[in-house]
Amino acid sequence: MSLTVPPALIDAAERGPVDDAEFVACVRDSLPYAWQTVSRVAAELASTGADHADNVVPPPTEAERGQLLRALASDAIRAGLERHFHVKLAFQNCHRVAAFRPAAVGSDAYRRFVSARGQLLNQSPELRNC
């Protein structure tokens, strides 16, 4: 399961649209490693003038790796994180998450990161099974 959803939030979803802040809080509480990783790259980005910041450190355990994969594989979760942190997220392998300024989505750095070439150059034997 991707998220541990409180019964009150399930009830709210059954009645209609869910408040974005409640959804993001559910993501934060359910996927703490993913939240911390995205939080860190978004904070790095905010503190610099760069177009992007990224995480190159693999998760310490398979559980954390799974959290990151679940967060970034879900369109709804990824979009919620992007809205919350005001960034565009990009993802390679099982750990390399980058936060881009929305205005940088058409930049050379973004295109390189999300390209097939970028994906291939970010491979290594220890990440083959992630």
pLDDT one-digit tens code per residue, 49-86: 898 999 988 889 989 999 999 999 999 999 999 999 99
pLDDT at 121 over 70: no
CA 87 to chain centre: 10
Euclidean distance between CA atoms 47 and 66, whole angstroms? 28
Q: What pTM was estimated for this model as a whole?
A: 0.86
Q: Check residue 6 and give its pLDDT.
A: 93
pLDDT at 113 over 90: no
Among candidates 110, 74, 70, which has minimal Cα distance to 90? 110
Among candidates 34, 25, 33, which has minimal Cα distance to 4? 25
Position 2 confidence tier, pLDDT thresholds 50, 70, 90? confident
pLDDT at 130 over 60: no
Q: Check residue 125 and give its pLDDT.
A: 59
Question: Which helix (H) or strand (E) segment is 69 a member of?
Answer: helix 62-73
